[in-house]
Amino acid sequence: MKWETLLTIVGSEAVFSSSLLLAGKVSATQVRLQLTRWVQTGRLLQLRRGLYTLAPAWRKVEPHPFLVANKLQHGSYVSLQSALSFHDVIPEHVPVVTSVGPGRPEMLRNPIGSFQFKHVTSRMLFGYVRLEVAPRQFAFVASAEKALLDLVYLTPDADSPDYLRELRLQNVAAINMQNLHDLAKRSGRPKLLRTAKIVESLLSREEGETL
């Protein structure tokens, strides 16, 4: 495969899988060997095995980290601090993209950034939607309410007023209390049911202020 052919196929893609290039009568071995060569010469960036993006000099689309996160571990969705920051519910910038899903826990670093994945059971795989996070780039992202519940679910002793105050929750309008209670009930986790009640109490007392 020639470089110009690759650009024709993937030039408009933010990221692409090597499987995209294996359709038709092509040698999988030769395709993978050529991809390795282009990585070595700096034309491609490898994000993980089988997943690539064009180097900036040839890139038409800047990959959004949330899209990359979804591609790095299939079945995952962006949640925890990253989704809370995305929804402007916490004030901090989050340098690591945090996701949850059915896969194994792992921390990955590649030329796009750092990505952390936490494991949750299949019963917790709800409360997220597909959003356009950049022009023509879509990613699965937890709602503000589910991101908060995921964080508490995965953090020991997080269902306490002190811990929830330390999050400095803001943008109260972004948190739908009915949705928070509904998601907590759906989880069936007493810890999350307690969390929903505590959050409602904190926000009702300090509405309009940073916790």
> pLDDT tens digits, residue range 1-23?
889 999 999 999 999 999 988 87
How many other CB atoms are found less than 10 A from the CB of residue 195? 24
Are the C-beta atoms of residues 147 and 91 closer than 8 Å to each other? no
Sheet of 106-110: strand order equals 106-110, 113-119, 96-101, 77-78, 137-142, 128-134
* Domains (range + CATH), the chain: 3-58 (1.10.10.10), 65-205 (no CATH)
**Whole-angstrom distance, CA of residue 47 vs CA of residue 16:** 10
Q: What six digits make up the tokens of 51?
A: 């997943």
Mean pLDDT, the chain, rounded, equals 94
Locate tokens 């990955």: which residue? Answer: 108
**Whole-angstrom distance, CA of residue 79 vs CA of residue 52:** 23
pTM over 0.85: yes
